[in-house]
Structures are given as C-alpha cells and as structure tokens.
Structure 1
Amino acid sequence: MSNIRYRCRLVLIAPDIENAAERARIVGDALKGGDVATVIVPGYGRSDDEFQQHAEVLVPVIQAAGAAALILNDSRVAGRAKADGLHIDGPFAELADAVEKFRPKLIVGAGRVSDRHQALEVGEIDPDYVFFGKIGGDIKPEPHPKNLALGEWWASMVSIPCIVMGGTDPASVLAIAETGAEFAALSAAVFAEPDRAAIVVAEANALLDEKAPRFE
C-alpha cells in the first residue's frame, strides 16, 4: 500500500439511492474495499433540504474511511454537511466564483470538461482538478475514447490533476491509468451490485497496484 500515492487512484461517484441511511451504508461498504481518494456526492434532483439530509449522513461515512467528500454544485450543502469540497459541474462563472470564495479552505474541482478548448479555459481558473467526462456517462464497459484522449493530453502538459470517468467494467481503470491521469472515476462499475461494491473496489485497487504506471 505504500506506493498508492504514486499511481492512479480511485474516485467514486455516490449512487442515487432514495433512502439516505441505505445510501450511506452502501457507500461505506464500498470504501471498506480499499483506497479511494474521493467520493463525489450528487443531489440527483433532490430538493435542497433532502440533499442536505443525504449529505449530512454520507459525508462523515466518507471522511471516516479517509476519503474526501465533495458535494456536487451546492456550496450551502457542502458547508452545512462539513464536506471537504465542491465538484462544480456548471458554468465557468460558477467555477471561478467557487475557486475565489472557497479555496483553499475547500477543494474545488471542475466537472464536465468535454474538449480541449474548455479544458484550457478551466485551467485558467486554476481549480484543484479537472474532470473529463460526465457523471452518469458510464454507460459502456470502457471509458469514452474522447475522455481518455483528453486525459492523456492534459496529463502530459498541465500540472493540475485530472480525473477521467471510467466505464461499467471496473477494469476500465487501467486504461485511464495508462493515460497518465491521476484519478479514475467509477460509479455503476462499483454500485450496480451493491453487495459486491467492496470486492470491486478491492479488485480495481489490486489491478492498479499491479499494472498502473507510477508517477515520478
């Protein structure tokens, strides 16, 4: 485990489960499987109050496992739930505003970056990371080729870390690691069968331990 920091690490996107306690239990189980750098928590269209209730249950579970808890797009919920940061999936103006207001107290990441032009614009804002792909975009076994290409281009050129959205096959993390990206995001790959979530996280980590290139 000593070399985890020197290879691509996992990021999980919390699944959409109606019951907050059940959602926290399933995420907590997944985190027992091994190293996860970050868990991004979307609201999935819930009201502010419901989203806050979910976040207040989830965030402590995520943090207790040693991962950073990031709230999607809602700084108020992030503050009230004592999350580690924000994943901003919205317009660049919102990202710039969040970077200005909340860094360095909170992590602020840029989501849903879909081409090189956008990536360079986002880079000017200097977020803590850039996310290639979209939440919910994991609909095939492999990562989207465009996201892999963006990750490889970015990682070779820019010092801001990047996350690339994986596919429904947990082994898709290896293709991401091979781009030089610092983080591989999984959601359906881990949570489609909640009872196996910890096993999948363990298997993905074992694959990265064995085969992922090491950072210098």
Structure 2
Amino acid sequence: MSTKPKSAPPRPAPRLYLATPVVEDPSALVTVLADLLDGSDVAAVLVRLARTDERTMTERAKRLVSPIQRADVACLLDGQFLLDGNVAIVARAGADGAHLTGIEALQEALPTLKPERIAGVGGLITRHDAMLAGESGIDYVLFGEVDADGKRPSIEAIAERLQWWAELFEPPCVGFAATLDEAGVFAAAGADFVLVGDLVWSDPRGPRAALMDARQAIGQNPDGTFGRALAQNV
C-alpha cells in the first residue's frame, strides 16, 4: 500500500458519488439519471440491483450503465446486491467496476476486476482492515456506511477515520453521508469523495435540488477529478 509522500500537494475539494435506490425496473431511473447527471458534476454512480436471476440483473445493469457513461460518469455495481457476490456481471454489463464490502469479498473479486476495472471497498471495521485493503491495490476505501445490523459509527468516528486515511495514504477515501451536515463534515475531514444516496432520492423537492445542496455542502470544485486510479479507468 502506498503512503502519501511528505511533499504531496493538498487534495482537491471532494466530488459526489451517487448511490441509486435498489433497482427493480430501471425504466424510470434511466430517464431521471440522464437529467440528473447533466451538469451535476457527479463523479460516479453506484448501482444497486434488486436480486433476481443473473440474466435479468445483467440486462437491468446494461440499461443503466449506458446513460451513466454517456454523461462521462463512472458506473460501479454494488457487490452486496449481486448474486453470491459474483462480479462477473460487471464486465458483461459493461460497468466500470464494483464496490465490495469486507476484506473477504474484496479478495475474491479482485482477480476478476483488476486491472481493467475499478475495485472499491467498504465494510472496513478497523484500521487494520483498511490497511489490508490498501495493500491489496484497491482504488478507494469507503467509511461510514450502514452495517448488516443497520448500525453505523458516529459522525465523529467516521470523520476521524477519513482524516487518518487522507493524511497517510495515497488511494482516495470516500465518506458515506446520510445527511447534508455529514457531507460537510466529511469533506472537511479530507474525504476525496462523498457518497450520497437516500438523502437525494427521498427529498420532496426532487433529486436535482438535493444533489445541488449536497454539492454546496462539500464545497465542490467542478474542476476536480475522480481520483488518480478512477480517472485512468473511465
């Protein structure tokens, strides 16, 4: 795992990483995403597919990958929602990569994903887990997501973990924000990207307004890039 050089320049302002709702019928979301990504400066979209047979999931993924990539945005599939964590669907759907949860899932998926595709990982309970992930050659680490029991660390703990990673390590770090306040805190802590999901899709004003608020909350720099490794793969 590469640590940050002592003379490394400061990281740019973070960018947004958008998680979709769990998708059963992609028809409506295709239209929404095409509009939402136009001018929103979203770095990547994490697609969460409802579990069904693999052929249907692949077709649903393909329908979403195309409009996302046409907007010059990376499209990743959430490995938690794939059947048995099988990331082979990523290549068949033409997605840019996958997000994995936990060290074991990451180790199983890496030979399939790398070097052609992006591999990100969350579910990193301890600093040791995070360092193991970093040593495996991942493209980013995610802190702050909800665990299998529906729990997540405190905002302070997530911010501390982001700050620790940003100060010491080279791969980008992502903070999962459940609220706009959290988005601002994680940006200030040093997150390269801020992942938003339900706070965008549940906003009564619509997702575009919520996404603009999230962008303001993190002080987004529209000239930023989606990390060194991600930019090379998109």
How far off is 1:43 after superposition? 2.2
- 1: CA distance between counterparts of 2:163 and 2:19? 22
- 2: CA distance between counterparts of 1:136 and 1:25? 31
How far off is 1:37 after superposition? 0.8
Contact 1:72/1:88 (8 A) holds in 2: yes
Alignment of 1:157-176 (within 5 A): 157-167=168-178, 169-176=179-186
Change (3 A) 1:37 1:59: same
- 2: CA distance between counterparts of 1:80 and 1:37? 22
Contact 2:172/2:192 (8 A) holds in 1: yes
Name the amino acid aligned to 1:202: M
2:97 to 85, 93, 97: 85
How far off is 1:194 after superposition? 7.3
1:11-39 deviations in Å (ceiling 9; x for gaps): 01111243211122233333235111111
2:41 to 14, 35, 40: 35
Match of 1:190 in 2: 200
Name the amino acid aligned to 1:19: D
Name the amino acid aligned to 2:60: H
Q: Percent of pairs identical after alignment?
A: 28
Change (3 A) 1:200 1:143: farther
Normalised to the residue count of structure 2, the TM-score between the two structures is 0.76
Alignment pair present for 1:55 and 2:61: yes
Structure 2: 5+ residue runs without aligned partners?
1-10, 80-85, 225-234
Contact 1:33/1:201 (8 A) holds in 2: no
Name the amino acid aligned to 2:187: A
Match of 1:114 in 2: 125
Structure 1: 5+ residue runs without aligned partners?
none
Where does structure 1 differ by over 4 angstroms across 4 or more consecutive aligned residues?
Answer: none
1:76-110 deviations in Å (ceiling 9; x for gaps): 221111001111124x2431343334322101111
Contact 2:88/2:112 (8 A) holds in 1: no
Contact 1:33/1:197 (8 A) holds in 2: no
How far off is 1:171 after superposition? 4.2
Change (3 A) 1:101 1:210: closer
Normalised to the residue count of structure 1, the TM-score between the two structures is 0.82
Please give the secondary structure, in 2, of the residue aligned with 1:108: strand
Please give the secondary structure, in 2, of the residue aligned with 1:37: strand
Contact 1:63/1:69 (8 A) holds in 2: yes
Please give the secondary structure, in 2, of the residue aligned with 1:77: helix
Greater shift, 156-165 or 196-205, is seen at: 196-205
Change (3 A) 1:162 1:201: same
- 2: CA distance between counterparts of 1:20 and 1:210? 29
Alignment of 1:1-216 (within 5 A): 6-32=12-38, 34-73=40-79, 74-90=86-102, 92-134=103-145, 144-167=155-178, 169-193=179-203, 196-209=206-219
CA-atom RMSD in angstroms? 2.8
